[in-house]
Amino acid sequence: MTPSGKNIIVRHYGSWMWLLVVLSGAALFLFYMWFYVSVLGFDLPKTAILKRQNAHWNTRMDQMSQQLDRYDELLSMLEVRDDRIYRNVYGLDEIPQAVRQSGFGGEKRYANLEGTGLKEVVRRLDVLEKRAYVQSKSFDDIRTLQLTAGDLAAHIPSIPPMNTDPSTYRMTSPFGLRADPILGIGKRHTGMDFACPPGNPVYATGDGTVILVKHERGGYGNHIEVDHGFGYVTRYAHLSRTDVEVGQKVSRGDCLGLSGRSGRITGPHLHYEVIYRKNYVNPALYMDLTIPSQDYFELVRKPAK
């Protein structure tokens, strides 16, 4: 065999030896990893890193959830106080929970977070953001009322709608259940009736804005409605004359018209109602009929007639 042939055989043999070493090393490495994971129960380095990162983020999300619980509790306290105190004082309706608790954009908004613990955290953040926005707007509305509505006491209907001189009127029907004077059956009377001759002046019982002036043959006949703000509306019915128009600002004691006998009626009288947040309430709770006539006209700053 020539020297060149021997060199070829040696190189070929050396290549196979290196290949065998590499394969043996790879097999040994695979066996070691199998033994490390399956027998000893250890994680692969990359898996261990991912598990540590996952545990870290789970801890962070637990902390965020606890913080969201505290924010939720504080916001709930504000909402209850807003509905039961602030909005109630100013005659505003409570904000429905469906409005306060709604989130943003529906379930598709969280599609990319499906199957992760982050989905619920993000959803709760959205709801809290919406609730905070609604609460902020509610406080803005209350602030606007404070600035534009003036003195609350001046707007609440708190005086009789007519001269309190007992010789000028007679109380015929108080608020509550009574026998209907025409049908003769039991029926709720939603106001107070002041029987008096036609032509007695009728006065606004609080500051407000005229929202209705209507003339009809039946029902209330000629009648006026005044919105006092803060949830209060008053109605003056069966008038012979109306002296105001829709949109007109009136002050307590301004003459709205004259009593009469228009509409569905058995005799001349003023029918007076107080409506608070769309519910009829007893007008007697808002007035003192025993006040002397002279004091009444000093109160409304109108000359006695």
Are 128 and 176 in the same domain?
no
Residue owning tokens 């809290």 = 128
Residue owning tokens 């002036």 = 213
Last residue of a domain, one of 122, 148, 174: 148
**pLDDT of 106:** 61
Are 108 and 225 in the same domain?
no
* Residues 3-31: b if buried by 16+ CB within 10 A, e if exposed: eeeeeeeeeeeeeeeeeeeeeeeeeeeee
**38 located within any domain:** no
**294 located within any domain:** yes
Are 173 and 138 in the same domain?
no
Mean pLDDT of the chain: 81
Of the two residues 187 and 215, the one the predictor is more confident about is: 215
Residue 242 pLDDT > 80:
yes
Are 286 and 163 in the same domain?
yes
Residue 125: which residues within 8 A CB-CB, separation 6 or more? 68
At 29-72, the pLDDT tens digits run 665 555 555 655 555 566 666 767 777 777 777 888 888 888 88
**144 located within any domain:** yes
Tokens of 208: 């407000």
| pTM score | 0.63
Are 65 and 184 in the same domain?
no
User: By residue range, what is the domain housing residue 116?
Assistant: 45-148
- Report residue 228: phi and psi, to 5°: -95, 0
At 259-289, the pLDDT tens digits run 999 998 889 999 999 999 899 999 998 999 9
Q: Which of 4-18, 48-62, 170-184, 223-237 has the highest mean pLDDT?
A: 223-237
**268 located within any domain:** yes
**236 located within any domain:** yes
Last residue of a domain, one of 107, 131, 148: 148
